[in-house]
Structure formats: C-alpha cells, structure tokens
Structure 1
Amino acid sequence: MKKLVLIAIAMLMVMTLAAQGSTESQKVYEMNAGTSIASGTLKSESVDIAYIETFKEYVEANSDGRIKFNIFYGNSLGSDADVCAGVANGTIEFYIGDITTISGYYKRSLLFSIPGAIASMDEATKLFDSEWGQQFFSDCAEKTNIKILGVVSKGFRNFTTVKVPLEKPEDIKGLTLRVLNNPLFIQMVNSLGGNPVPMDVKELYTALQNGVVDGHENAVPNILQDKTYELEKYLVLDAHTGAYLCGMISNSFYNDLPEDLKKVVDDAAVAAADAARSTANSIIVNGLEKLKQNGVSIYEPSPEELDAWHNAYKSDCMVIAKQQIGEKEVDDFLEAISALK
C-alpha cells in the first residue's frame, strides 16, 4: 500500500511539472521598448534604429510567438530619463540610449565621459568585452535592475554650433550649449567658458531653432539622425569623449524568462549589436561628407590643436570624475584601459 501511495505521489508530481512546463511554454512575454528616434527612420540612417529593430525582428522570429516586442518611437513612452527610470523600477522592459543616461542610478557609467580616456572605437569594444567590462555589466544589473545587453560605439562626440565657427577652445566662450545631464559634460563646457544647459534630446531641435541654445555636443551619427545639421552649420572634431549606445533590459523581467527565451534575448542582443556597429561604421565613414553636402563647415584640429582642446577641460573633468565616482574606481578604469594596449 505504501508503495502505491509513493507511486501515486510521484505521478502527481510529474503531471504537475508537465502542466507547469506547458503553461510556461504557452505564456506570451510582452516587452515595451522606448527610443527617442522618430518612427520611419531607416536602419541605414540611425544606429539606434538598426539596434532596436534588429532586436525586435530577432526575438519575434525566434521565440515561436512567445515574445511580443513593442517599439515606442519618438519618446512616446516619455523622455529618455523617464524610460530609463521605468526599466530601473521594472515598469518598462527595454530601453536603448546613451550609457550616461543611467548615471543617476549607476555612477560608474560616468567613467565613459572622462575626456581622452578611450582612444578609439576598437579600444572601447575591447574594454566592454574584457573582464572589467563584464563585471561592470553584472554590478550594474545587481544594483540598479538595469541589465546592459550590449554596447555599440558611435564614434567620438564633438562640438557643433548654429552661427559661430569653432576652431580653438576659446571659441566656446560665452556660448550656450546643450549637454547631457552629466556632471562631466557640464564641467567640460564650464571649463571652456561656455554656458552648459542640460536638456533632453527631444527638446534640442526646437531649442536650436528658437535660439535658446547656440549649439551642442554630439557624435556624427547622432547629429545626422537628429537632423540638427539642418540648423547647425559649424562642427569641430575635438573628439572629447566617445558616444556609447546601450541596449538595456529590466533585470527582473529578464530573470523571469524561461531559460530558452533568455537565450533568445541574449542572441538577439548580439545580432542587434552587429547590425548597429555596421550602421555606425558606415555613417562614420560617410557622415562627414553628408554634413558637408548639407552646408556644414567642419574643422579638423591638428594634433597640437587637439591637445589644446583636451587640456582645456581634461584636468577639471578628472577632478569631477573622482568626486562623483571615487578615486579607486577611476584608477581601476584607467588601468583596465592600459591593460588593453
């Protein structure tokens, strides 16, 4: 009798597990994703769109209908800060944007705003793939609920203005420039004698149009996708910091996925990053020519002039970085970069 009872219990457990597995395999996981880029923008025109639309295509094609991925374009889910906050608190599943957007939740992301720290796009990719980079991702997910799925370099950020030619650091003096809400970028413009104005990207075009700001700083792919070149006609390639696009998912949502769907998401992130890097490389190669064709005057500083630009703000920004992030964190970051050389 006891043996029959044990057999019955075992069969019941098997049936229960089978039912749970069946329910799990039938469940549809919905992902809402926010981006600042307008609907209708082509993948070839935007690194962000290349990433997020490739990600959507991959997860929906490889999840047997178990993942539905909804893209909300043009900040229709809210500002970049709003969507990032939604991912952090678990009310929004996915966000794509600049790595510095998460600095309010994870100060270490400000490391990538230290002027001159990273020398090239290739060096940035190696850093993110390194042991230091993987620890950065896991620590961020644990402390903020923001899991970074991948990072794509968009090249270097540069200053650009509507009316004022830019060649020397002194040319920034007195100009009002839009910056990301980032203490290092704010300090950078202050060090140059300008007036930094933190502003969401969705407000930038109108602010340039109305003369609220005289210009801003950004990478060439962003200048093209945001179409600010229609208003800004001067660009100096001072290459103060890199621009890094991140695909970010709510860590709690990711952890709730079955193992097979986690793999789909992981593989989608790889496919999306590959597509975005291809677009970034193409835009960087051809972007300056397109800007010139649209009437933008581009100044490329000599090595000596570039040193003058970097020396004008580098030491001040390093002080802010150590205050905001901690001296050890900054030193470890710089050592990790040195180890790649």
Structure 2
Amino acid sequence: MNLNRRHLAAAVALTLAAATPLAGFAADIKPRLIRFGYGLNEQSNQGRAVKVFADAVEKASGGKMKVRAIGAAALGPDTQMQQALIGGAQEMMVGSTATLVGITKEMALWDTPFLVNNGKEADALLDGPVGQKVMAKLPEKGLVGLAYWENGFRNLTNSKHPVNKLEDLNGIKLRVMQNNVFLDSFKTLGANAVPLPFSELFSALETGTVDGQENPFNTILSSKFYEVQKYLSVTNHVYSPWIVLVSKKWWDTLSKDEQKILMDAAAASRDYERKDTRDEAGKALAELKAKGMQINELSPAETARMRDKLTRINAGVAANVGMDLWNETQAELARIRTSK
C-alpha cells in the first residue's frame, strides 16, 4: 500500500513537472492586447502613425504586446473614448487636446489664438517643460499622456475676398467650431461668427448660409471646400495638437519595462506623425492652388495686429488655465524665440 502510494505520488509529481513548463510557455506566448482607438481612417496621417506605434511596440516587446488599431471613430468620438480609458474599458487612444478641456482645464492653453508662429515653436513648447507640466495633470483624472502629435495650423477660407488684413474679416459670416474661445475670438476680430457642426458645413458654404470657415489645409482639401470657396488666407491662427492617451487603470498594471516600450514607441510615432502631417499639408496647399483657390499669406505685421486685438481672449484663457502656467508659457516662448 505504501509502495503504491509512493508510485502514485511519483507519477503525479512527474505529470506536474511535465505540465508546468507547457503552462508557462502558453502564458508567455499570449500577447498583451492593447486596443488603440482613433477618429480618422486608416489611410490618414493618424492611421499611418498608429501603425508606426503598433509596429514599434510589437518589435520592442518581441511580440508580447500587440496593438489593435481601431480607427474611423469605431469606438466613439474622442469624449467617449476618454471616458472608456478613465473607466479602464479601453487601453489607448489619440485625439484632440481641445476635447480634454472639460477633464483637465489646463489643456485649454493649446486653444490660445496665435500662441505659436510655426511648427518648430510648437514642438519645443509641447515637448518642453510647459507641455509636460500640462500632461502631468492627466493622471489625477485617470489618464496618462505619452506624446503630443500634430493636427496642424488652422487657416481661413471664404467666398467673398482675400483676408489680407484685420479689417477684411468685417461682416464675413464665418463658421467656427462650437467652442467659446473660437466664437469669442472671431467676433472680436470683426467676423460674424456662426457655430455649426462640421457635418453641416459643406452645404452651408454651398448655399451661402455662411461665407467661410477655418481648418487645416488637409481638411480643406479632403472636404472639397475648394468647390465652394475661392479664397484661402494662410493665417495659422490656431495650432491644434493631438495627444496619445493611456488608461491609468491599465497603465498601473504594466511593468516598468512595458511602460518604457510604450513611451519609446509614442516618441517614435510622434516624430513620424509630425513630419508626415507637415509633408501632407504642403502637398494639400499645392493641390488647393492647382484646383483654382486664390491663396494669400497674412503678413507678420497683420498677425501681430490680430494677436493684439485678442488680448482680452488671451486673458480669459490665462485666467482659466492659471496665471502661473500662462506666465511660464510666455517666458518659455520668449526663450524658444531667442535661442538659436
């Protein structure tokens, strides 16, 4: 009896010893799945950059982390995805900083008209101490920011005349986003600002319900606004960033090595996406010109006049985000502009 028990125990031990490596191996090869949501389609600058991110994560993790890219707003608009991340129902997303203002008020800093003059200034500000300080406000709200991507500079189109100077905006019925900063800014500049959903914009331009609108070159081209708009004024009045976000609930379950893989991939995709977006914007502008749009560029002197006119708007943004952050931003921009 004792002998049989010993044989049985030995057999069980052998079975467990044989099974354990197999079970461990099965656990090792099951990748950690990351659902990454975004609003545009797979062929967009967003879609291309998400693929760069996904490939970098898979390669650096040796296949142990796998990103499932889900575009075309299939997981909902930015605001819905943000809540899914906060609740831990979704791992990652990329979206507009403007839609985060209700969650983290400091994100309103990026809505400031004429805050930066060019992409180099935007990169330095976003990737520097100010951008990181704003991003550092996210974890307390259940989100983690990894990198800022680029949506682009917004520019004016209309069907009346070129906007070469501040006075040219007087009386133009201009569709703007349903956002108080945008509404107040263009009213202050003399336009008749009309809030309208983007989905209604083309028909409103076509029927003359509004005279003009403002968006990045890529959007003006893809939305075929050149069919109903004659004049394109390069104003670069607002720089719009996107931000790569992670659910903090999920982030906290990752090892330091896994977190580093995601941070490194986010930085690589950021650099790729900014170059891709700028290249695409340059091509879009050339194509808009080829399609017959009359293009003019706002002079630095007129940009300064518009910026001065918006002092009250900027004061409102400053009060909203906090004077310390505002003053730090202005000091950092002065440093960026004087450094070689």
Name the TM-score, length of structure 2 as normaliser.
Answer: 0.79
2:36 aligns with: 33
1:150 aligns with: 147
Q: C-alpha displacement at 1:279, in angstroms? A: 0.8
Q: Distance in 1 between matches of 2:218 and 2:174?
A: 19
- From 52, 55, 58, the equivalent of 1:57 is 55
Q: C-alpha displacement at 1:226, in angstroms? A: 4.8
Q: How does 1:5-154 map to 2 (within 5 A)?
A: 25-39=28-42, 41=43, 46-140=44-138, 142-154=139-151
Q: C-alpha displacement at 1:48, in angstroms? A: 1.9
Q: Does structure 1 conserve the Cα–Cα contact (< 8 Å) formed by 2:41 and 2:47?
A: no
> In percent, how many aligned pairs have the same letter?
28
1:329 aligns with: 325
Larger-Rg structure: 2
Q: Distance in 2 between matches of 1:126 and 1:254?
A: 26
Q: Does structure 2 conserve the Cα–Cα contact (< 8 Å) formed by 1:188 and 1:316?
A: no
Structure 1 residues 205 and 144: CA distance shift in structure 2, 3 A: farther
Q: Does structure 2 conserve the Cα–Cα contact (< 8 Å) formed by 1:32 and 1:70?
A: yes
Q: C-alpha displacement at 1:52, in angstroms? A: 1.6
Q: How does 1:191-202 map to 2 (within 5 A)?
A: 191-198=188-195, 201=198
Q: Distance in 1 between matches of 2:180 and 2:32?
A: 37
- From 283, 287, 292, the equivalent of 1:290 is 287
- From 259, 268, 271, the equivalent of 1:271 is 268
Q: Does structure 2 conserve the Cα–Cα contact (< 8 Å) formed by 1:150 and 1:269?
A: yes
Provide, for residues 23-72 of structure 1, a one-character-per-residue CA deviation record: whole Å limited to 9, x for no partner.
Answer: 87455433333322234x2xxxx432332221122223443443332333
- From 283, 289, 312, the equivalent of 1:316 is 312
Q: Does structure 1 conserve the Cα–Cα contact (< 8 Å) formed by 2:231 and 2:293?
A: yes
Count of matched residue positions in the alignment of Structure 1 and Structure 2: 318
- Structure 2's unaligned 5+ residue stretches are 1-16
Stretch of structure 1 that moved more, 21-30 or 54-63: 21-30
Q: C-alpha displacement at 1:22, in angstroms? A: 7.3
Q: What is the DSSP-based 3-state SS (H/G/I as helix, E as strand, rest coil) of the residue aligned with 2:252?
A: helix
Q: Distance in 2 between matches of 1:143 and 1:196?
A: 36
Name the TM-score, length of structure 1 as normaliser.
Answer: 0.79
Q: Distance in 2 between matches of 1:23 and 1:199?
A: 53
Q: Does structure 2 conserve the Cα–Cα contact (< 8 Å) formed by 1:50 and 1:275?
A: no
Structure 1 residues 19 and 76: CA distance shift in structure 2, 3 A: same
Q: What is the DSSP-based 3-state SS (H/G/I as helix, E as strand, rest coil) of the residue aligned with 1:281?
A: helix
Q: Does structure 1 conserve the Cα–Cα contact (< 8 Å) formed by 2:143 and 2:247?
A: yes
Stretch of structure 1 that moved more, 316-325 or 170-179: 170-179
